[in-house]
A and B are shown apart, each in its own frame.
Chain A
């Protein structure tokens, strides 16, 4: 069951862009253009996560955060990239603070981390005959357990969470290995080779020339 996300954003184009990004991440979403309305929406309790802009008409994002009644996790999504605002947002108890502009994959990755932390995301992921238990760190292929190194496991989870999305080597490095530089892309390649071999993903985990890799939903047989 995919998460339902509320997008609070007053700029129409940005709201549409976020909506489209969420759609490819497999999330359903609703857009809300001002702060006052957002508080009511959040309090209806039907959302798993809120993406909250700070500069909003009627009521700013911080006020929205303070006025909301329930504990729906919130990610601030704002152009204000200065440290005091970031600290303020995180101190208030926000799950994350994303500074505009951002890339689609980055947004999806951060949403996934936030959802997993708040246990609103399934602990069991599946991709065709592969079953992943994220809490137990177990992977089975056709019911038989497959041994993966921790990094291979993280990489697999990241691919399965971003099906049909092209992931650059830089992205994989920063999301799985936590590097913020792009010097070690060879590491990604060797781990991808291992995943293909161990889980028989030669056809599904395709290489996108000059970009990276993509795990596809249908096998191109």
Chain B
């Protein structure tokens, strides 16, 4: 049974019982009072008759100057009195002696009330005879010291008739009011429970996937409260689901890009290997050409899988930071990087701060970070260009430095008056007061290469994003370098700051907190 049905039936039953019971009580009380009034009235008339007989007897004694009347004389007087009553409608009188009727007026038949005659004094009873309701009053009257019973009967049918009529009327009124009440109740209960029904259907819609549906909130009652908190819950579910969908979507894009990046080298490898297998005669130069492509494309796949593994590790592994002197770290880097840079007819310049400075880094990760940036710079540069690796001390508030977990990719202008316009930053976690001024070390890799178009700076850290596919591929790139750098910066609680001008060069920096020293 539904809630509205329960409330409706329960209330309706209650209302009908209360209304009917109270009107019945009122009716029967009125009826009782009416009967009592009739009884008093009847008694008064009975007593008057009784007195009349006694008075007539006393009067006769005075007139006849007798000390006492005979029984017959007294009886005659009484009978005369009774006969005077003849014709008074609604009242009958009778005189009994020893249970036998002596005289009647107006058909005062004792009928079934005969037992009353045995009563010593007054008594009255209401009897139904045929379609009439009669009130009998019996009293003993002494005529010449002999006991007689004076009986009066009153027809009180009209009182009963009235009661019956009223009762019928109340029944009709009861039924009508019950119908009326049930109609009003129905509207009222359903109206009150309507928000609940609305809430329930909204819940159903949300459960079936319509996440943007909301319950309507009206007024301030309990249902509205439930609806409001339900909406709050739906909001958080929706935002969670949207976030999950976004995650799934970016994962899907990543996998689809990965599949594409793997298929390209695989196509060359499979194609050339198949040629080597099915061709009848392969010349020496063809064999070398085919095999070289297979080798270089295999290396590309290797590079791709290597970068993927790194990306995965940086994302999942805890960093193991140690405090190192910037000077030592820079020396370690340049030893490895200088020959590589020189191989491409480029020059590497390392700039260090004047005094000893220390930073807390995961050395292997940060090395990979610098290698990737320098690698990108090499790819972007032409011979005789200079690549600069700059370590400098800066102070900025955590907020300015972008060390706070950024809510949006806000552009950052830290390098005032610098040649680079357009910048983008990736958020990273940082605990502390955003306004606190921090002593920082900024590591920047600057090149004089082809640069990045300003509208693409925001996209450049996306995995597999390549500015120039042909150029990237020629250098064996997979489009994962900056995505990896961004992850490494994030693991160090910082983010990438990218500034670039197309045709003039690129500067990519990361800000790290300065340490006290080992």
A residues sitting closer than 8 Å to B (CB atoms) are 10-14, 16-18, 20-21, 24, 33, 55, 57, 79-80, 100-105, 107, 164-167, 211, 214, 216
Contact = CB atoms under 8 A, between A and B. Distances in A.
B296 A13 contact: yes
- Interface of chain B: mostly helix, strand, loop or mixed: helix
B274 A10 contact: no
B280 A164 contact: yes
B184 interface: no
A14 B268 contact: yes
B272 interface: yes
A184 to B, nearest CB: 21
Contacts of A101: 263, 266-267, 269-271
Interface string B41-74: 0000000000000000000000000000000000
B279 A164 contact: yes
A10 B466 CA distance: 14
Interface in B226-272: 259-260, 263-272
Contact of B469 (A10, A104, A167): A10
15 contacts: A11-B264, A11-B473, A12-B470, A14-B268, A14-B271, A16-B293, A17-B268, A55-B260, A57-B469, A79-B264, A101-B269, A164-B279, A166-B279, A167-B278, A211-B277
Given A13-B296, A101-B263, 8 more contacts: A17-B268, A17-B293, A20-B275, A80-B260, A101-B271, A164-B279, A165-B280, A166-B280
Query: In the complex, which of the residues B260, B270, B278 has the most CB atoms of chain A within 10 Å of its own CB atom?
Result: B278
Nearest to A163: B280
Contacts, number: 83
B275 A14 contact: no
A17 B272 contact: yes
Nearest to A166: B278
Contacts of A10: 469-470
A102 B272 CA distance: 10
A18 B270 CA distance: 11
Interface string B453-481: 00000000000000001100110000000
B485 to A, nearest CB: 25
Query: In the complex, which of the residues B271, B290, B296, B297 has the most CB atoms of chain A within 10 Å of its own CB atom?
Result: B271
B286 interface: yes
Contacts of B264: 11, 14, 79, 100
Interface in B464-517: 469-470, 473-474
Nearest to A164: B280
A167 B280 CA distance: 11
Nearest to B278: A166
A166 B263 contact: no
Contacts of B259: 79
A104 B192 CA distance: 75
A103 B473 contact: no
Contacts of A24: 275, 278-279
A211 B274 CA distance: 12
Contacts of A16: 289, 293
B237 to A, nearest CB: 30
A79 B270 CA distance: 13
Given A10-B469, A11-B473, A103-B270, A165 B278 contact: yes
Contacts of B274: 103-105
B267 A79 contact: yes
A14 B267 contact: yes
A103 B269 CA distance: 10
B277 A102 contact: no
A13 B470 contact: no
Contacts of B474: 12
Counting from the closest, the 4 A-B pairs by CB-CB distance are A17-B271, A79-B263, A13-B268, A100-B267
Contacts of A103: 270-271, 274
B260 A104 contact: no
Query: In the complex, which of the residues A12, A13, A57, A103 has the most CB atoms of chain B within 10 Å of its own CB atom?
Result: A13
Nearest to A55: B260
Query: In the complex, which of the residues B264, B286, B473 has the most CB atoms of chain A within 10 Å of its own CB atom?
Result: B264
Contacts of B267: 11, 14, 17, 79, 100-102
A107 B272 CA distance: 13
A16 B264 CA distance: 13
A9 to B, nearest CB: 9
Contacts of A214: 280
Contacts of B277: 166, 211
A104 B263 contact: no
Nearest to A171: B278
B271 A18 contact: yes
B278 to A, nearest CB: 4
A167 B278 CA distance: 7
Contacts of B260: 55, 79-80
A116 B275 CA distance: 23
A182 B268 CA distance: 25
Contacts of A33: 470
A211 B277 CA distance: 9
A107 B278 CA distance: 13
A24 B286 CA distance: 12
B264 to A, nearest CB: 6
Contacts of B271: 14, 17-18, 21, 101-104, 107
Contacts of A211: 277
A21 B263 contact: no
A101 B264 CA distance: 7
Contact of A105 (B272, B278, B281, B469): B278
Given A104-B278, A105-B278, A164-B279, A13 B297 contact: yes
Contacts of A100: 263-264, 266-267
Contacts of B272: 17, 20
Nearest to B297: A13
A33 B290 CA distance: 20
A104 B275 contact: yes
Contacts of A20: 272, 275, 286, 290
Contacts of B266: 100-101
A102 B280 contact: no
A20 B264 CA distance: 17
Interface in B284-304: 286, 289-290, 293, 296-297
Query: In the complex, which of the residues A17, A80, A102 has the most CB atoms of chain B within 10 Å of its own CB atom?
Result: A17
Interface string B83-100: 000000000000000000
A24 B470 CA distance: 27
A18 B272 CA distance: 9
B470 A57 contact: yes
A158 B265 CA distance: 29
A57 B259 CA distance: 19
A10 B474 CA distance: 12
A91 to B, nearest CB: 21
